[in-house]
Structure 1
């Protein structure tokens, strides 16, 4: 089982720079590998980051602007070239079915991969499984765009001191977890008596959008928020005109939504000093702030601990 982490493959916006490739983000989440918004050059970035095509289990596109999807043909063909054995689900706005079809079959190749299209038509869950629930919400951009949110169900963590108090150890711990209660010396011990709540981890991915209710809904209470901050606040009018966010707006969302780690990305080529994004965000958000760089790895923060 892989650690839960975000591997940043590219952080530019419409125009790549010498230091920033077009978009691309791989979220490792246990046995899942969710590739978000692969732009041009993403295959080479994967090579440099040590990411294999077989690591991908889901392809998640927010919208069909080139810097977010022109890497799709290469990814689709690589899945077949490397003979990836497991199914790969592709989530994208349903209104862009024709675009996805063109990207998927952009040129001749021998297709062997099991790529299953799951177009997103409305707000709500788009996939469920052992990983939790993958949700989508419609954003406010020039073309139809969806943000994504991954939510792990809440659970419970066993407390060693409480287990010892009742004399429960070894295989009996697993029996208690599965059954919810256990007979011990003539007494029924409930799971709640020897455990504490374990909040599930949450992740959100928000790309090209103006500030809207969906941004807040996606970011609510997440451990790791990956969010575009194409502009600095001095260019807020441009951000609104083009359907984007500023670093200050992203930070305000993080602060109001209780985000633990804020990852800023998708930077306009007009700015050559990334520290300005951090400084602007830090004025409004006092949690962890990462100004994303290509090929960096960002761990999902450890689960919140609820006292027993």
Structure 2
């Protein structure tokens, strides 16, 4: 089969977004995401509700992706799907559907590591996005993961540091809940932070190994700080929300940058790429651009649609694996915990 006629369908269902995408030679022809709003009232993702919603959404989402890409399912070369890590119930829906579709079409099945996909999303051919050169350092920051990864090749990755407790996205969401912000709180904190004074309040950065992270103590510090200030002034949050958000975001971004600086010093690699939902944050984006000027780094920041969970990144990994014929067997199973 000629490469120009290679169409990969990517399916992503690791958490609460049901997504499908079609890619051809690195170019995304269609990317569809069905977001589950039901979790907002619970202040977090409810696994059972998520898996039920995936069952309802997966067929129409795949149908829309194929229609938008203007291809028939029989033109597909392979099906790529998220095997893990993620919520087991959600992963099972995507895994089962992908296995059935690949078997029905008699085409290869390709399993994809979700975290690997966030990193390799940089190789999608998209306007304003340049692929990093090997080797590079990847900072993956999301609601479930915070890792520093040395990337030597497409499928040769080494975790240099990671969180010992909570992920950075969880820290944003839990702090936002304390401040009375809707779920997910990260975008709201970012929005208010842009109007506030980042030096108004001081939060201590957690102390762990030079390349590792910890966020549980920071969440506790925010809780005690807010409780203390509200006891003195019941209107504290309302009167100081922008400054609290700005100070919190400044602390988290500065902490992330400290770890990247330590990594560059330890490895000598100045090519930096970020990925995951928190890479949409304006503070970390600005800090990375500043680092290009002050430290001589080359930074790669994904387009917004490739930051949060999406199927285009799954399809991208699928295409790279397809070229090397790295196919999965049909007895492949979903894995809630999965290392790079």
Higher strand share: 1
Shared fold per TM-score greater than 0.5 = no
The bucket for the TM-score relative to the shorter chain is 0.3 to 0.5
Using CA pairs under 8 Å that are at least 6 residues apart, name the structure with larger relative contact order, 1 or 2.
2
